[in-house]
Structure 1
Amino acid sequence: MLCVLKPDAYDIRISMSFSKYQFFFLGFLNLCLIKHLAQSQNHTLIFSKDNHFRNCSCSVDIQSCDYNLANLMCNCKNINPPKNKTSYNGDLTIWFSDTSTLGKLVNFTFVHNLKLSLCGASTLPTEYLAILGLRFLRVQAESIQEQSLTITQCNAKDRLCQVPTEPPFHISYLDTSLFNGLPLLKSYSVKNVSSIKEQFPNLPYSSWISATNKSYIVTLIY
């Protein structure tokens, strides 16, 4: 009888030991998955405060222009204003109070999903800022409720969504005066533009664009 019981007890101990390690292993995988999902959902917030530019990685939405909450809830650090063109893979939110700050942060920047919030009651002049590869835009200010605009509808098979530097190249020009309280956010696109400098001489232009692209889709946002 004892010879029969001992193997059974040994099997039970092995089973319980295996279940314990399996439990911890599955728990570890769950923690890794949660961390990965949290990181993948983070979005970038950039703002200027007290003569410093702050770059924040946020996992939750922050009320526009709430600087204290952003510093508390997001992972923020001081940065220098970008001198060269910058590319953002995820969502980008920018809080600004003047066109100079906005221009330093978005002019000739690659970004697909962008939100711009004007902090304060400033009246902005008419200036055009170039945004490259823009697909979806949201704007907000004290004088206007949040509005959104889809610039480009794309899917995984769309060439525009695969390589943003291959022709046709999408470039959007944002009229900064739209933050002064215009009733509705609008856009107008022109396809098959061969030369921005010749066809739109009053819009900002960068020489490196013409060196890499021969066909453009130009969108005016106003």
Structure 2
Amino acid sequence: MAGTVARMVAYLKARIDLGTLKPGNQLPPTSALMKQFEISDNAVYRGIALLKAEGYVVSRQGAGVFVADRRRLIVGEKRVQGITQAGETIHHKRSERVQAPGWVAEFLGEGECVNRVRTVAREDDVVQSSQSWVHLAVADVVPEIDEPRACDPTWQALYQDRSGNPVKVSSKTADVRTTTDEEREDFGLSSDREVLVVRSVYVTGNTVIGVGEAAYAPGHPLTLS
């Protein structure tokens, strides 16, 4: 069964990459995919979730699943130096010291860290709602992370410049989940929606100094590069 789902996903990816299915085109209905690949409806849904996680498609409530208009996610050195693209602006919402959530503590260790929350807007639309959790050791070098404003260009770049220790993105993972209350408010949504979420881990040497989670607004998916 898994192999059949993989073939469905590979087939749809190939059609999208080759341009046979273009941005805005609707995918075949579930019933057609079930028949073509001889799989169940749940298997089709799993395949579609994989395509969403990679930014290939996006759901429109009550309308169906459509090929996404994709652009590349800024990662690596470019992400450390500044993540916005032309026409985008950052709104820093808050910085506060909190106890590290469970999944964050797996990287930073248990205890207090600095939680920074912001949005990225393109014109009047919020396209990204993101948070970072930063190790307190960074605050000794970049005290600005405790202030309710954006760092220029990023806290990672400031730490790298001031400490002399290179900062890199050691890993990134993508997933699909439903929106949180804050994300629905940021994106102007009236109900739960599925969103692409990317988590990044920032390291200097072998030491994790921060983790980030970015949720991307429906209709503005990104391709992981």
Q: TM-score, normalised by structure 1?
A: 0.24
- Tell me: higher relative CO, structure 1 or 2? Use CA pairs within 8 A at least 6 residues apart: 2
